[in-house]
């Protein structure tokens, strides 16, 4: 569980600084919303439908994919 929390903190720190660098604070918020939704869905699928052998690594992968997809999809030129 510690590995999961460390990865999420790293994602949020990098995302925070990137949103400040690009001067678009909405990208950070969009990334947070995406990581929450993606993680809840991934855990729900794990618990109710197809259990994985290691939920922590699954949540790390889903967290990275969800956060960065939400972050970069809301960037404006």
| Residue 62: partners with Cβ closer than 8 Å, 6 or more residues away | 38, 39, 41, 42
pTM: 0.83
DSSP element (H, E) containing 15: helix 2-21
pLDDT > 80? residue 32: yes
Sequence-ordered alpha helix ranges (H) in 22-54: 25-48
Span 36-45, pLDDT tens digits: 999 999 999 9
């Amino acid at each position: 569980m510690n590995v999961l929390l460390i990865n999420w903190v790293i994602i949020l720190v990098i995302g925070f600084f990137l949103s400040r660098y690009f001067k678009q604070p909405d990208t950070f918020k969009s990334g947070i919303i995406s990581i929450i939704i993606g993680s809840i869905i991934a855990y729900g699928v794990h618990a109710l439908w197809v259990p994985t052998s290691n939920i922590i690594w699954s949540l790390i992968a889903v967290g990275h994919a969800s956060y960065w997809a939400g972050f970069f999809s809301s960037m404006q030129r």
